[in-house]
Structure 1
């Protein structure tokens, strides 16, 4: 199956907002999310909107949340660039507070938590319908560990994958591989 994943260099970027989530990571997250065109996705900690954009290409509706106004502005610019702004509600707020106001979603992506990962996972997981999915991406091992513990506490059976990506730089003599930061992805289906 071919995933139409937007190349990293096509995103509008700013020094004030990290991202986008690297193309290879976005491909795996989309796979773990198991999206359909009927899904409603909540993306907590949208950053530049890399995952929001991928969700908007595939899902019925996306709620994209970030407490950084520069992140919301950058995500909006990326959505407009690709003509997807009408499929996304941008919410400038802390993740937990915004999540409290959103009903009827089927997938929850947490890429940033402002240090409130346990509460965001618990609130979001409880609001998911049976069969809904939750995905947490983490650059910090402790966040992934906390996510696994919280999901187990909620009765879920989390799956954990760490992705190490290296990209080749072409040199006269050959190809030099440069490693990107490893990312841990924790996912679970609500049972």
Structure 2
């Protein structure tokens, strides 16, 4: 798997590489999958999904962020067929997705409803705010989707006075769901 290049900024932080690794691992992306990235922003998740899946649909409500997704896609190698849609989810979401990554909290309940209605097998939502994480857990549970919740904390080492210290990233909550067709 090649490193993801993100030379173009969307004025919103991309999902960090370590968090993408956990999230895409929990999505269990397969070569035959159609993966949806809801709230593509920089395209980081779109790119990594496109390196693993057969099809990827990126949905982003802000045209300037969708343009960044497109430019960052152009800087990376992938084999998937990728579609970019400017829409505020759940509008623009395909009817035939196998796996769905939800990177933002806007309208997530309606996005989950769409996932249930269309039979999405695997859903992962990343959240950085505690209150939203609680709401997301409740929403996954209310829809009979909740499989597990992770709190992922990553720290990167740096040199400090000739030794190694660590600088912590903001923790991220990874809410994992399985639809009726999903594997446990």
- Tell me the TM-score normalized by structure 1: 0.87
> Where do 1:37-52 residues align within 5 Å?
37-52=31-46
Secondary structure at the counterpart of residue 95 of structure 2? coil
How far off its partner does 1:45 sit? Answer: 0.6
Once residues 145 and 5 of structure 1 are traced to their aligned partners in structure 2, the CA distance between those partners, rounded to angstroms, is 34
After superposition, the Cα gap between the structure-2 partners of 1:24 and 1:5, relative to the gap in structure 1 and judged at 3 Å, is farther
Q: Is the 8 A contact 2:126 2:174 kept in 1?
A: yes
After superposition, the Cα gap between the structure-2 partners of 1:86 and 1:152, relative to the gap in structure 1 and judged at 3 Å, is closer
Once residues 131 and 79 of structure 2 are traced to their aligned partners in structure 1, the CA distance between those partners, rounded to angstroms, is 34
Once residues 167 and 182 of structure 1 are traced to their aligned partners in structure 2, the CA distance between those partners, rounded to angstroms, is 13
After superposition, the Cα gap between the structure-2 partners of 1:6 and 1:139, relative to the gap in structure 1 and judged at 3 Å, is same
Once residues 28 and 39 of structure 2 are traced to their aligned partners in structure 1, the CA distance between those partners, rounded to angstroms, is 20
The answer as to 2:67 corresponding to 1:76 is no
Comparing 80-89 and 50-59, the one that deviates more = 80-89
Match of 1:6 among 3, 6, 11: 3
How far off its partner does 1:74 sit? Answer: 1.0
Once residues 2 and 150 of structure 2 are traced to their aligned partners in structure 1, the CA distance between those partners, rounded to angstroms, is 20
How far off its partner does 1:146 sit? Answer: 1.6
> Where do 1:1-191 residues align within 5 Å?
4=1, 6=3, 10-14=5-9, 16-84=10-78, 87-99=81-93, 102-114=94-106, 116-129=107-120, 132-191=121-180
Q: Is the 8 A contact 1:44 1:110 kept in 2?
A: yes
Residue-pair matches, total = 180
Q: Is the 8 A contact 2:56 2:80 kept in 1?
A: no
How far off its partner does 1:5 sit? Answer: 6.1
Secondary structure at the counterpart of residue 188 of structure 1? strand
Once residues 27 and 39 of structure 1 are traced to their aligned partners in structure 2, the CA distance between those partners, rounded to angstroms, is 17
Q: Which consecutive residues of structure 1, in runs of 5 or more, have no partner in the other structure?
A: none
Q: Is the 8 A contact 1:121 1:151 kept in 2?
A: yes
Q: Is the 8 A contact 1:125 1:134 kept in 2?
A: no
- Tell me the TM-score normalized by structure 2: 0.90
Q: Which consecutive residues of structure 2, in runs of 5 or more, have no partner in the other structure?
A: none
* Superposed CA offset, 1:103-152 (max 9, x none): 211001100142x12111111222125xx101100011222222211221
Structure with more of its chain in helix, by fraction: 1
How far off its partner does 1:85 sit? Answer: 8.4
